[in-house]
Amino acid sequence: MERTSRIPGFYQLPVEERVAKVAAFAGLTEEEEALLRSLDGLERETADRMIENVIGALQVPMGVATNFLINGRDYLIPMAVEETSVVAAASNGAKQARVSGGFTARATDPLMIGQIQVMHPAPDAPDRIAAGKQDIIDLANAQDRVLVKLGGGARDVETRTLDKDMLAVHILVDVRDAMGANAVNTMAEACAPLVEELTGGESRLRIISNLADRRLAEATAVFHRETVGGEEVVDHMLDAYRFAALDPYRAATHNKGIMNGIDAVVLATGNDWRAVEAGAHAYAARDGYAPLTQWEKTPEGHLKGTIRLPLAVGIVGGTTKVHPAARVALKILGVQSAGELAEVMASVGLAQNFAAMHALATKGIQKGHMRLHAKNIALTAGAVGEEIDRVAEQMVKENTIRVDRAEEILAKLRRT
Ligand code: NAD
């Protein structure tokens, strides 16, 4: 079978057939397929080990986005999200990008920053840290032999004078395929006494920074003028982008749309979405809050988009290997490194942003969104079983997708 993420009509297939297609694409075992089918990704014992005071688990639907071609490779992308239309929009954006060759993505080395806060340092503390840099690096690396053996570890030490009496010492750590917080926090705590000794100050906080601006992922794609809908639509989309570039009220929503897609992949793969969110928005705010994407017109009149953001995500560590459904999600993705995972996520963010801007600049998002949301409204109105589809279809037909109308349709249905 050709290994392609372009699967026309995927959304119309029954769940069972979708699972079979994904299993064939990713070479899943029978157990992995069964896990997806059962919706029962997490056993009580595993959940009880993951956090404290466990009483149950909350399930969120996991879908796969189709059509993604990234650096010439096809991906089916697992997305765990409760919001209607996110997976459809990502798949649609990817389909349009595919026409011009898909996404080109890259990630920097996975450098995370460990911060040590130093109070009342000596006036020449930055020089003393610079002189003792190698000792700090060696001590940090002594904490994590595994990471060093894999080619990672502490790389550099920097200082930032924050106030007369406060210095931040940054340890830059290559965390390879991990998200890295535990690894970096351990190093920061271990190095604090040496930093105190060197600076003549008192160390206080010792923790990773979520502004992971040394660990960036970038993706670009060109959306062909004709697929986008012609020159006017391209221009309207560029105006939509300028709106976000000029106005933080719009930029926040622009970036929320981007994170709709990215968070869903972060969650599906067992990664820490709070860390990714914190990093994304802190990065967006570095020179005044701004969009995480840039859009421009190519000389040929096509629409070119670029996204750049920090993505502290791993394929080892944290819960990536602990949560059975996250393990399957990573297998479906087939990524070989944390950098490749970040490249995929950046591409999803760009596809998502394209789809949202396209809808907003043309027909508005409510038509498509509410059509997909109609079943949720039917459920809210109390529909069960076959009633759900019938109520939803009737509301779509009438173009009135509201709970009060769903209740009326349902009442009528039950009378007949
Ligand atoms: P971890 O400690 O579970 O795994 C990382 C370790 O795995 C490394 O230190 C290394 O020894 C080992 N390892 C094995 N193979 C590796 C490879 N190929 N590449 C890199 N390391 C490899 O997890 P972590 O990634 O250090 O920390 C992530 C966890 O920290 C997440 O669960 C996150 O929620 C949590 N956390 C986050 C914050 C924050 O973001 N502010 C703070 C505290 C904890």
For residues 310 and 280, the answer to whether their CB atoms sit within 8 Å is yes
Taking residue 332's Cβ as centre, other Cβ atoms within 10 Å add up to: 24
Distance 213 CA to ligand 1 centre (A): 18
% of the chain at pLDDT higher than 70: 100
Residues near ligand 1 with C-beta < 6 Å?
144, 146-147, 150, 152, 175-183, 185, 208, 210, 272, 275, 314, 316-319
Distance spanning both ends of the chain, measured CA to CA: 48
Of 317, 40, 53, 35, the C-alpha closest to 175 is 317
Is 83 one of the annotated active-site residues of the chain? yes
Instruction: State pLDDT tens for residues 167-196.
Output: 999 999 999 999 999 999 999 999 999 999
Statement: residue 1 has pLDDT above 80? no
Alpha-carbon span 349 to 355, nearest angstrom: 10
Q: Which residues pair with 386 in a beta bridge?
A: none
Q: Which residues pair with 318 in a beta bridge?
A: none
**pTM value > 0.75:** yes
Instruction: State pLDDT tens for residues 232-277.
Output: 999 999 999 999 999 999 999 999 999 999 999 999 999 999 999 9
Instruction: State pLDDT tens for residues 73-110.
Output: 999 999 999 999 999 999 999 999 999 999 999 999 99
Contacts of 44 (CB under 8 A, 6+ apart): 54
Alpha-carbon span 285 to 272, nearest angstrom: 20
Give the count of alpha carbons within 13 A of 235, CB side only: 3
Alpha-carbon span 348 to 69, nearest angstrom: 11
* Domain spans in the chain, listed from the N-terminal domain onward: 10-105+219-361, 111-209, 367-415
**pLDDT for the residue 40:** 72
- Residue 144 CA, closest ligand 1 atom number: 11
CATH class belonging to 111-209: alpha beta
**pLDDT for the residue 368:** 73
Distance 270 CA to ligand 1 centre (A): 12
Q: Which of 182, 184, 335 to mutate to test the pocket of ligand 1 (most atoms within 8 A of CB)?
A: 182
**pLDDT for the residue 366:** 75
Q: Which CATH number fits domain 10-105+219-361: 3.30.565.10, 3.90.770.10, 2.40.30.260, 3.40.50.620?
A: 3.90.770.10
**pLDDT for the residue 363:** 82
Distance 184 CA to ligand 1 centre (A): 8
Q: Which CATH number fits domain 367-415: 1.10.10, 1.10.8, 2.30.29, 3.40.50?
A: 1.10.8
- For residue 120, give both structure tokens: 């009342």
Of 87-96, 289-298, 359-368, give the lowest mean pLDDT range. 359-368
% of the chain at pLDDT higher than 90: 90
Of 343, 315, 348, the C-alpha closest to 329 is 315
